[in-house]
Structures are given as structure tokens and as C-alpha cells.
Structure 1
Amino acid sequence: MGIQIREILEDKYFKGYSVLAGEGGLDREVQAVALFDAPDGYLWFKGKELILSTGYLFKDNYDYFKDVIIYLHKKGSAGMGIKKDRYLKEIPHEIIEICDELSFPLINIPYDEAWIDVINAVNSIAINSFISRVIDKPSTQSTITPKDLKMKIRDIINKLSIEIKKPITLTDVTTTKSYTYPPTFEHKLDMDFVEGLDKYDFDFTKETVCDKLKIQRITPSDSDKCPWIKIPIKLRGRLVTKIIIWESNEKIDYYDLLAIRIATALLAEIYEQLYIYQNFEGKYYDDLIKAAINGELDNFEKVGELLGSIEKSRVNLENSFIVTCIKKEEGKVYFTSKREEIYKSVLSILQHDKNIFGIVDDNNIIILTEIEGQDNQIKKMKLDYVKVLEKLRETIGECECRIGIGTAVPDILSAKRSYVEALKALEVGKYIYEDRDIIAFEDLGPFGFLRLENIQRRDFGSNFDKITPLLKHDNSKEMLETLKIFLESESNFNVASNKLFLHTNTVRYRISKIQELCDIDLNDPVERLKTEITLKFLELIK
């Protein structure tokens, strides 16, 4: 974010300043302002400084003055400001010549100017110049969409990269998608962007550049790898983005760091706007989803009405959808009381532009996932929901949740069917897949035709009556467990006895007794299947 000496002198604050020599170097870049009034002080300048001096060190030693000018030129310093009227009165002709020859600006500073005022003025010009280049004129649009905000984020990254002359990579932590400017720049590092972790397959050192903003420099021990600056952006205590500035062979300068801090503040403000938009948007989706799962949507005009002032939905509501239901079964925490935390945890995993969700009551979250003919969609969704469950448990503490997934429907108007299937997956699935927290309707197979209310009303009549004698037996618990394990062991007595830790003859005796009591033939495949189904829903029948 350097500023040219010419720009400094054009500012109204510096109207009383004059160029004594080296006018050909007014385009030199200033990255900082430094004081010089110690004999060997010039040895510690790094380059691109505008150096301020009273001239005391040079009043009787013009050769020393010349040597310093030559040294600073070689070091890459921007120029020197000197109070000519304090000690020198006149600048020696040979100094004028060497400054002109090297195009090294020598500037006269008025006698009464305080150093701090000069430094503050130069810093203000640099900062204001950067801000004016980064911040566009206020938009005339009546509404700003998330797309506009995301484009603004990229625009700031592009301009910052140009200003500090360094490639920059921005990575969205929630989606793990990265954007690099300039696009031609490629890094070959496998970056771990997890908050608080720096894991690389090489040795490195870590240095804090700005403690307040947690800006750090990572320097690989291998000189073939360039160092980089890592800048986290947090929103309400949660990491949302990481910026990586690739330093190459030259470290960032003072004004570069100021530019980075300003850009970081601007980006944090934009992410706050995105958050507010998405949180506002979510309230509308609550109503939309409730209408969809209740079958109240019969045309897309109603969908538009429910979207209200939301100009553009994140998903294409005319595409195919799968409905997922997350149900809280136990726990004192209600979903509606943890809305913000749930938005963060769920949306940090699910793809933003393919999912919309709403909290429809204290115990149920409904998610509509847009699909476009992708194979193995349910399998992929299950993998995502494993992470969602983990995040929910971290976020809302002691709370048991289960997930049911419906099948695809042609559009949002048909969402009720997929919702009913998701509920069926939850209701029936917990009996046939006791150990699963995530069940899809397609997992149920023929069990998907069952209706639990019919089982509870015993509409299946005598189909379940055969098991009744076992429920009345003195050792019903042992007998039922033996039957269950025997059937799960594919009617193999040896396998069942090993699982039950019983002698084979004991298992044979119990199975014989069960067949006698219940009047069933477990060698008959149909009878065996009927018995297995009965055992799946035994608790419900009881």
C-alpha cells in the first residue's frame, strides 16, 4: 500500500515543503516514516522509508552526508526530509548533484514542523488513499443480495493484492472453497485451514505479526517454500474465513500491514452483513417449509409470496428435492431456543446453495436439499448428516437427535410426500435399525409399507398373536432373546450359542420349546420371516 513522494507533496498539508534535489525520484514508494539523528542510525533502515533529519550530523561533514545518501539509495530508501534552516542553511552543491544523479529526493521541511505531525500526516495520506481506492461509491441498488456481497469480498481481495503486490488466497471455512488473486498464481501446499491448527509436512516457524487480529507469519525452514501471512476472520466468535498472503521473497511493509488491517475490518463487516441476510432469510424459509410439508403449496405463485422480500432464493425451487427431518428425541434444550447456534453448526457443513432449512417447532428441523440427477445422492447426504449430528451435539449439548431422509420429489410443490417418507424412516426405522441415528426411507424396503398406528391398533389381527405365549412365559425375556439371536444367526444353532454364551443343546431346547408354545415352524421361510418382523416391532406391540 505504498504512497509516492509526489502524492505526499501534492497534499495541502505539505504546501510549505519544497524539493531541494532529486526531483526525478518523486515516484519513489514510501512505506514508512523514520527519524535519523544518530551517526550510525542509517545502518538499520530496511528500504522504502521517508527519512526525517534535522541535518545536525551533516553540518560539518559533507562527505558523511554524501556517503549516507549513497547508502540509502542502495538500500532502497524513498528519500530524505531535512530541516535546512536549522543547521545547514544551504545544501552543498555536491549533495545536490549526487541527489539529482541518483534521483534521490531531498525535501526541505519547514523549521517549525513537529516530527509527530509530519509522521501522522504521511500516515493519514497513505491510509486515506488506500481506502478511497478500495471502497467504491455507495451503491444505488435498492437491495443488496448475498451475491453482491460475495462479489465485494472478491473485489477487496483483488484490490488488496494489487496494493501490496502480493498474491492472496481467501478460503471460506464453511465451504472450504478457495479464491486466489491473481488467478495465475498457484501454491503447492496442502493447507490445513482448521482453526488453531498448523499442520504441514515440513518444519516451519510461526511469528505473530498483529496480536489483536491474530495475524501470523508462517515461515518454512525450506528456503524453496515462500512464507505466508495467515489472517483469520471471525464472526461472533466463529471462524468464517482465512486469508493467506503469500510473501514470496519480500516481507510485507508497514503500510502493507495497515492496508491488511483495514481490508480485514471491511471484510469482517461484509461477512456480518451476509450473516444478517442469511439469518433474516431463514425466518422466511421457516414459513415456506411449513407450508411445503403441510401440502399447502399448489403453485409457484404461493412460493413467491412466502419468499416475501427475499429477492432470490439460494436454490432453484423448481428442481427436484429430498426432504430430511432432524428430530430431537431427548434432552431439555429446544431447537427454537438455539436457532442461531444451529444455523452456524448446520450451515457450516451443508452446501449453502443446495439446501434450505427451517426450524418448524421445538423438536424438529426440516431440510430441503436440491438435487439434479446426481447418483448416490442419499449416500452422500448420509455422510454429511453424520457430521451434522456431531456438530449439533457439540452445539446444543446433551440432546439425542435422529435423522430421517425421504426420497426425491420433482419440485418443492411435492415436498409433502418426501416429508412423510422422512417421518416414516424415523418412526419405522428405529424398530428395525435400533442402532442407527440416520435412516433413509429407501433403507426400509418393504417395511416402508407399514403404518405404526395400524400395529398399535392391532389391525394386523392374529398375525402377531402367535408370539403371545412367549410374552406370558415365566422366562419370557430369555426365551425372546434366544429366538431373536437364533433368527439373526440364520437359524444356525452353533453361531447362536456362541453369541448367547450358552451350550448348543440349551439353545436347541429353547427353540424347540418356542416352536411348541407358539405353534410355529421355524424351518418354514415364510413363518420365519413373519416371526422376524414381529420381533422387530415387539416393543410397539407390547
Structure 2
Amino acid sequence: MQQYTKKEKGVSVRQALSLPALSGVNVLGGESGLDRMIRSIDIMEEPNIFPFVQEGQFLMTTAYGIKDDYQTQRRLIPKLVEKNLAGLMIKLSKGYVIKEIQTMIDEANRLDFPLLEMPENFTHTTVIDAIYSFFSLEEGKNYKTVEDAHQKLMQAVLNGGGINEICRTLYQIIQNPVAIVGSDDAILGSYPKSSWTSRDVSTLLKNKDDHMIVGGRSFQVKHVPIIIKDYHYGTICVLEVGHKLNALDIAIIESSAAVASINIMNQMLVREMEIRHKNEFLFQWMQERIHSSTVLLERARILGLKLESYKNMLVLEIDQFEKVKTMDTDGIYTAAHLKSVIRFTIEKTLKNHHLKSIIGDKGETMIILIEQHPSLENDLESLKQLAQLICDQLAKQTKYTCTIGIGRPREKLTELPSTYDEAKKSINMSRSFNNQQKVIHFDDLGLFRLFIHSSQVETQQFISELISPLIEYDSKNNTELMKTLEAYFQCNGNMSRIAKFLYTHYNTISYRIERIQQITQMNLEDEENRLYLHLALKLSNSDIYKKFVAAHL
């Protein structure tokens, strides 16, 4: 709750109610106390505000939190009278009836304390503007109104001013330093700049502090969120150096948040357009639609990209992306927002390692081109560690996970599509085997790289010829031939170890191995037969085979 006390004489509650702008305000109780003087206005966000209120304050509230708490209602009015406040105005929420606050009305009548009801079509700003305008007329002061301030802020934007100009204009109005911070805690604009540093603001928001040290003194900070389509895109921070913010100041700051959101939306639209063109270019390149290096570099130059030094590539895919798109009615926007968070996290992680990047995204896939750097030269392990760090950071920032694939390096830019293709196949193969590893290099696939380039039909047929008969036999005879075969390879064919591993008699294991060889027509003593059977068993755990089985059920 913000505090502000006017030294001027003020206005009585009765005079305030006579203002045309406040026509329709209903006196619920305490009519005999309407001559109490209003010296300041504030908004009561919670009932436990007694340590902060000051004499002569006029409070506004929804009191929604105490509508069923009659004990708190009974205590509230006497406490406000004890603090010598001017009055209390309640805006009844939908479904909230007068009888639910009858205890407060009774106390207001008993103690001659004005208890007022705000009309449904009123806002807190309506009351604030009306009363402060009255102060202006009565005392010859040039008090600002929310409407005047809003017009001034809008004019600054219409004149071509950006976030910095909004900060400067707001500073002129409320006479306190202003900073507008993005959802990534980076300062988008500030005025005066000497009052703010990125480190101070980042620490402030991270710790959810309401005070900041400037020049060795601690000052209170007011945070007002900037919300666009239910998403938090930034915060307006105001440092109470000049004076304590009053309710009118806060209403003006909240109004400026709406103006700032327009500016941020415009910036977002421009940025989205730039990103769209870059995405289209990057994915056309990776899909081998640009064959000439001259054309490639020229198109990149038009988009402001200098590709010559970008030889390292990571390919990131968002896990379970379909769930992201269907998590609510605004799934597309949710996915876009998630990708913007991922993009920022990647950029920040790479920047911390002094690495520049170019990022493109399409659907679940993100291409991350990384500029050549001594720390990455011919060092695959460093690239994998960097990819793992990105995965770890994303897991902390969002509830979603990702998998990153890495292909073999290429010298020519026109050959990078092959690196991209390998990275994509690494991810697909890793997912096919339900691998929990989140960073996978093409070379890590080992022998399974052979199956990447073969057709799925051939792979499925290869698995089916050797493994399906064993599965069918187990199903019909309630046996464990598949389990025994897996143990055979885990124990390197040692019969005693297999028996011990499966808690099964040696003779039973010998019989099962014999049946496996009969059914598959593979001799496990033959090195080539053994290799085929082992490969088929490994591949049987992949999505390739599971899809085949599902299609033939």
C-alpha cells in the first residue's frame, strides 16, 4: 500500500459527494461523519494496513477478502476511526450483496465513520480524478489528472517516441525516476539513466525487492506489470526519490503501462517480421533450396546477417511440442511465447560464453548457428557441453524440455544442410529408442547410423523376420524367450551369468537359447548371425518397429 499525506486543508467527504463526477455514490453508513476531511486518497489492497495508514486518508477497496470474515469487518472500522481516517469507499464485486457487510455498516453508523458504495460503472480513477480536480480548483494548484497524463504519454508515442520517451514523459509527470524492464529483466528504457543500472534492476526483480540503494540511501520502488494478452511482457519500475507516490501517481503509472504495452507490441510486430524473414531464409538454406554461395551470402546480407564465420550448428527440438500448442485455447500464441523464452535463454547462455549466434525456428525445430570462437575450434566436447547447458537452462526457465542434435562440422556454408540433416536424424533416432540423453551427436549413434539412410519398410522387415516369431511364441506359450535373448547379450553369452541374472535354472536357460535358435533360424555361435540378432533386438525397442507392430495389430 502506498502512502501520501497532503499538508493542505483538503476537502470534506460531504463536499466530495457533491461533485457531479461522483453522482451516484451511495452512503451505506456513518452519514453523521461526512464532514471528516480528506487529505489524501489511497487503495486498500488488504485489511492488514493499519501500520501504514495516515490521518486524513480516504480509502477505497473491494473488501472481497473479508466479505465472509465478520470478525475482521467488526475490527476494521474502529481501527480506521482510531487512526482518524476520512472514510472508506467499497466497490461491491459481482455476487457481493450489502447484507454481507452489514457488520461494517453497523460499526460505521455507531462510530459516525463514512462508509460509501462505489457505483458499478466507476473505477478507482474516477474517484481519484474527481477529488484531486476539486483540490486543484479550491487551492489554485495545477494538480494532474489521469486523463491529462494519459494524453501526454500517448502524444509522446504518436510523435514517434519510444520506450525512453515514455520514461522521460512519465518522469516529468510524477517527478520520480522511471525504468521500463522487459520480461527478461533487461532495461528497455529509463529516465534519468543515471538512476538505474542493469545489475540493480535485475537484482531488484529477481529478489522481488521493493527497495533499492542509490547513493548509499534506500528508496522504495513501485512495480507495475505490463500485461499483453494475459502474458507478462515487462514491468514499470518507479524509484521514490522525489516523493512518496500517491494514489493518483499510481493510477497514472498504471495508465502508462497501457501506453508502454502499445509501444512494446509495435516493437514485437517489427521484430516478429524480421524473425519471420530470417526463419524463412535459414530453413530454405537448410533444406538445400539455395545452391549458390553467392546467392546465399547476398540474401544473408540483405537480412543483416554475416554468415562467413558461422560454422558451428546446434539443432534444438522442443519435446512434446504438440502439447504446447494444445495446452489452452490460445495454443499458437502460447507456443510463440515459449519459443521467445527459449530464444532469449539461448542468446543469454551464448552471450555469457562470449559467443554470437543466429537463431531460426519453425514448428518444434530451432536452428542455432554459432560464430567461430577459439573455445569451440575443433572441440566437439565443448560444443556438447554448451548444448547441455542450454538444455539445463531451459529446464529451469520453463516446464518444457528439449533435445539438441549435433551433426558433423562442414567447411563450406553450402554444405551445412548436411550437418543440419545429421543433427535432425540424431534427434529422431535418439527419440526412437526413448533415449533420455538430451544432447546427441551424429557420431554417437554408432552402427545405428546405417539404419538412418535405409527405408523404414526395410528396417521394419529386418526386425520382423527375426523378432516377431519370438514375440508370437512368448505370447502363445507364456514363455520368456525375448527376455532371455536380452539377457544373453547383456551377459555376453555366458550361460551361468544368464541363469544367475534371471534367477532361472541353467538347464532352463539352455533350453530357451536352443528354442530361440530354432525359431529364428539363427546360430548364436556364428558371429554374423549373432550380430544380426543383436541389431534386430536393439531396433525392436525403437518407434520404427512399434509403429510397424501397431499398424499390423
TM-score of the superposed pair, with normalisation by structure 1? 0.54
Contiguous gaps of at least 5 residues in structure 1: 1-29, 47-112, 140-148, 201-216, 395-399
Q: Distance in 2 between matches of 1:45 and 1:342?
A: 42
Cα pair 2:185 2:202 within 8 Å, conserved: no
Say whether 1:243 aligns with 2:245: no
DSSP 3-state at the match of 2:454:
helix
Match for residue 420 of structure 1? 421
Quote how far apart the aligned CAs of 1:421 are: 1.0
Match for residue 315 of structure 2? 324
Distance 1:189 1:392, change over 3 A: closer
Distance 1:264 1:407, change over 3 A: farther
DSSP 3-state at the match of 1:135:
helix
Distance 1:299 1:321, change over 3 A: farther
Match for residue 480 of structure 1? 482
Distance 1:479 1:357, change over 3 A: same
Q: Distance in 1 between matches of 2:176 and 2:436?
A: 53
Quote how far apart the aligned CAs of 1:33 are: 9.7
Q: Residue deviations 1:231-256, cap 9 Å, x none? A: 21122211121333344695334665
Say whether 1:533 aligns with 2:526: no
Q: Which of the two has greater helix per residue?
A: 2
Q: Distance in 2 between matches of 1:497 and 1:251?
A: 80
Quote how far apart the aligned CAs of 1:271 are: 1.1
Q: Distance in 2 between matches of 1:489 and 1:172?
A: 57
1:135 aligned partner, one-letter code: A
Quote how far apart the aligned CAs of 1:468 are: 8.1
Cα pair 1:425 1:439 within 8 Å, conserved: yes
Q: Distance in 2 between matches of 1:182 and 1:36?
A: 36
Match for residue 520 of structure 1? 524
Q: Distance in 1 between matches of 2:38 and 2:478?
A: 95
Q: Distance in 2 between matches of 1:225 and 1:499?
A: 68
Distance 1:326 1:41, change over 3 A: closer
Distance 1:484 1:131, change over 3 A: same
Quote how far apart the aligned CAs of 1:265 are: 3.0
Cα pair 2:491 2:498 within 8 Å, conserved: yes
Q: Residue deviations 1:465-487, cap 9 Å, x none? A: 77687467556972222222443
1:320 aligned partner, one-letter code: K
1:350 aligned partner, one-letter code: R
Quote how far apart the aligned CAs of 1:302 are: 4.2
1:369 aligned partner, one-letter code: I
Q: Distance in 1 between matches of 2:510 and 2:240?
A: 76
Quote how far apart the aligned CAs of 1:368 are: 1.8
Match for residue 451 of structure 1? 452
Quote how far apart the aligned CAs of 1:445 are: 3.5
Q: Distance in 1 between matches of 2:496 and 2:164?
A: 67
Quote how far apart the aligned CAs of 1:369 are: 0.8
Q: Distance in 2 between matches of 1:535 and 1:341?
A: 40
Match for residue 354 of structure 2? none
- Aligned match of 1:356 in 351, 356, 359? 359
Cα pair 1:168 1:246 within 8 Å, conserved: yes
Distance 1:262 1:445, change over 3 A: same
Q: Distance in 2 between matches of 1:331 and 1:188?
A: 36
Match for residue 370 of structure 1? 369
Q: Distance in 2 between matches of 1:408 and 1:418?
A: 6
Distance 1:129 1:445, change over 3 A: same
Cα pair 2:408 2:419 within 8 Å, conserved: yes
Q: Distance in 2 between matches of 1:392 and 1:35?
A: 53
Q: Distance in 1 between matches of 2:472 and 2:481?
A: 11
Match for residue 344 of structure 1? 337
Cα pair 1:349 1:384 within 8 Å, conserved: no
Match for residue 232 of structure 1? 225
DSSP 3-state at the match of 2:144:
helix
DSSP 3-state at the match of 1:518:
coil
Cα pair 1:317 1:411 within 8 Å, conserved: no
Match for residue 108 of structure 1? none
Q: Distance in 1 between matches of 2:243 and 2:307?
A: 50
Quote how far apart the aligned CAs of 1:293 are: 2.5
Within-5 A mapping of 1:62-101: none
Match for residue 135 of structure 1? 156
Quote how far apart the aligned CAs of 1:448 are: 2.8
Distance 1:534 1:320, change over 3 A: same
DSSP 3-state at the match of 1:265:
helix
Quote how far apart the aligned CAs of 1:295 are: 0.7
Q: Distance in 2 between matches of 1:492 and 1:166?
A: 79
Cα pair 1:322 1:407 within 8 Å, conserved: no
Q: Distance in 2 between matches of 1:43 and 1:125?
A: 19
- Aligned match of 1:123 in 124, 144, 152? 144
Quote how far apart the aligned CAs of 1:432 are: 4.2
Q: Distance in 2 between matches of 1:159 and 1:493?
A: 83
Say whether 1:172 aligns with 2:182: yes
Q: Distance in 1 between matches of 2:398 and 2:39?
A: 58
Cα pair 1:357 1:367 within 8 Å, conserved: yes
Distance 1:521 1:378, change over 3 A: same
DSSP 3-state at the match of 2:244:
coil
Quote how far apart the aligned CAs of 1:447 are: 2.9
Distance 1:124 1:460, change over 3 A: closer
Cα pair 1:167 1:182 within 8 Å, conserved: no
Q: Distance in 2 between matches of 1:192 and 1:43?
A: 33
RMSD: 5.7
1:324 aligned partner, one-letter code: V
Quote how far apart the aligned CAs of 1:385 are: 4.8
1:252 aligned partner, one-letter code: L
Structure with larger Rg: 1
Quote how far apart the aligned CAs of 1:347 are: 1.3
Q: Distance in 1 between matches of 2:186 and 2:241?
A: 23
Cα pair 2:278 2:360 within 8 Å, conserved: yes
DSSP 3-state at the match of 2:227:
strand
Q: Distance in 2 between matches of 1:301 and 1:340?
A: 36
